[in-house]
Structure 1
Amino acid sequence: MLLLFVDGLGLGGALEELFPLLLALKPQPLDATLGVEGLPQSGTGQTALLTGVNTAQFLGRHQGPYPAPSLRPLLKRSLYAWAKEEGLPVLHANGYREEYLKRALDPKRLRLSAFALSAHLAGLPLLPLGHPLALSPLLEDPGAWGKKAARLARDFPLAVLEYWALDLAAHRAPETLPRCFQELGLFMESFLEACGELLLVSDHGNAEEPWHPHHTLNPVPLVSTAPAPPPPRDLTGFLPWLQTIITSKYKKSERNT
């Protein structure tokens, strides 16, 4: 299956106009505030998704964009680490420019998103662009990337793609948001036509309100096009929810073989 993580996508705002496909998939709302005042941020939000820990309460604040050093021990016990311990092949499918990886992996900086950092800490490779298993996070050819993502989703119990273009556009170039939403929608349509099983989640709101460049307090979407248990209430419930889906699907596959 494919876990599509979309950075900076909340429910509300102008989604009916910008991203009708998402609403057609009947997303469930997840609370991204985690009971802490202030606007949710990527470092704590993504780490909460990946670890099940209320990281905003852990730090006493929302923090981002990259996870603080004090969150790294938590990320060593992330979704990726769990999958490896369970013997489940897992793929962090993002492709990266080699010059970016060289800078980002500098031990003095480690300027990686929580998803990329937790994959790295679990011993998974961070793939260069052009690698046979890598997907471009910019989705320049969304139809082709959707078909490739479907192939990867069939080959791995869990393949993860982190799509950060919405959040970046909302902060820096909101006029490009319609194009980003269109590309994401075309990617998802192509994927669903070829595969059919998609999980989608976000860490905080942002792009759904294109009239300002800030994060929002809106809940974030949780989508599953496959059978799933009742949805969790907030970001911290995502990991156990996903573990239940993966374990059930993998054990069923083993029985069928």
Structure 2
Amino acid sequence: MALLFLFLDGVGLGEENPHVNPLVAAPMPTLRALLDGHVPTLVHPHIQTPRAHAFATDALLGVPGTPQSATGQATILTGKNVPALIREHYGPRPDARIRPLLEEDTLFHALRRKGHGIAFANAYPDRYFARVNRGHRVPGAMPYAARAAGIPLRTREDLARGRAISVDFTNEGWRDMLGDEDIPLRTPEESGAIVARLMDEHDLVFIDQWVPDMLGHRGDWKGALRFLAHLDRFLQGVLEHVDLARDTIFITSDHGNLEDMRVTRHTRNPVLTVVIGRGAHDPRLPLERLDMLRGWV
């Protein structure tokens, strides 16, 4: 029994308007098949089927302002209302108020103490490690917490050997943006199969998917549709190799953004949460607040 935790940065529930909300405009046949042909929206946030359970999760947490990445992600990992603790939504990267919370008792720490195997499936280039180690870059909350819990971040070599995935699901960014022509191109389905193999070997496989928030900030409609198509194909690749009677896929986010392309900033919308497979039938669902996710996992 394994859990795939697919974290999507910046994906909330939006309007049922295909001219505003890429999640409504995108075909996404795999996700729609799991949800009886639908995708969750603000009008219809709750969808439950024999294989999946989708619902809205509040990211405001009773704190004024607009949810941000560092506090939202720290809340997911710790189960604490981090915006309330520091009295504001804050991001994008964790500061001196948030980092200690990520160094102590996160989801990663708790599972490791219980002896569970964890794979952080993202691959990071050598320049990322160099900048972090020199103190020139503060990692995001997810990789920061993973390293604090003793979970190694995967490297270029892991990506080349099929032991990690890239955030675009194809490795195109490594070739086009990083100039690494020796990295093999993959289909999103092949990346899904890689993650499924990691699920065979670990109790938790975690993916930190930051691309949707970047696309939302850019207002990149074409890029959003392309990303969602790749995400859907990746999900199909996972599903082809896992047993949903045994395994669970858990998808959630930290704040809204991509769902409203009229703006290039975060939204105050609830975030999208989807549970697929064994966990979809848990009577504790839906999880109404972001600080409830850690306890459920």
Cα deviations across residues 46-81 of structure 1 (Å, max 9, x unaligned)?
000000011111111110111112111111211111
Q: CA shift at 1:39, angstroms?
A: 1.0
In 1, distance between residues paired with 2:213 and 2:54? 19
In 1, distance between residues paired with 2:53 and 2:141? 27
Task: Report the equivalent of 1:200.
Answer: 251
The structure 2 residue matched to 1:113, chosen from 140, 149, 153, is 140
Task: Report the equivalent of 1:135.
Answer: 165
CA contact (8 A) 2:164 2:195 kept: no
Gaps of 5+ in 2: 16-20, 36-51, 171-186
Identity across matched positions, percent = 33
Task: Report the equivalent of 1:250.
Answer: none
Task: Report the equivalent of 2:267.
Answer: 216
Task: Report the equivalent of 2:233.
Answer: 186
In 2, distance between residues paired with 1:143 and 1:49? 27
Cα deviations across residues 182-204 of structure 1 (Å, max 9, x unaligned)?
11111111111221431111111
Q: CA shift at 1:110, angstroms?
A: 4.9
Which has the higher mean CA deviation after the structures are superposed, 192-201 or 19-28? 19-28
Cα deviations across residues 89-136 of structure 1 (Å, max 9, x unaligned)?
111111001101211243x45511111000011111111123143211
Task: Report the equivalent of 1:9.
Answer: 11
Larger radius of gyration between Structure 1 and Structure 2: 2
Which has the higher mean CA deviation after the structures are superposed, 21-30 or 74-83? 21-30
The structure 1 residue matched to 2:127, chosen from 76, 99, 105, is 99
Alignment of 1:19-38 (within 5 A): 20=28, 21-22=30-31, 24=35, 25-38=52-65
Larger relative helix fraction: 1
Instruction: Give the total of aligned pairs.
Output: 241
CA contact (8 A) 2:59 2:271 kept: yes
- The CA RMSD over aligned residues, in Å, is 1.6
Which has the higher mean CA deviation after the structures are superposed, 150-159 or 43-52? 150-159
Gaps of 5+ in 1: 243-257
TM, length-normalised to structure 1:
0.88
Distance 1:19 1:198, change over 3 A: farther
Deviating above 6 A after TM superposition, structure 1's stretches of 4 or more consecutive aligned residues are: none
SS at match of 2:240: helix
Which has the higher mean CA deviation after the structures are superposed, 223-232 or 154-163? 223-232
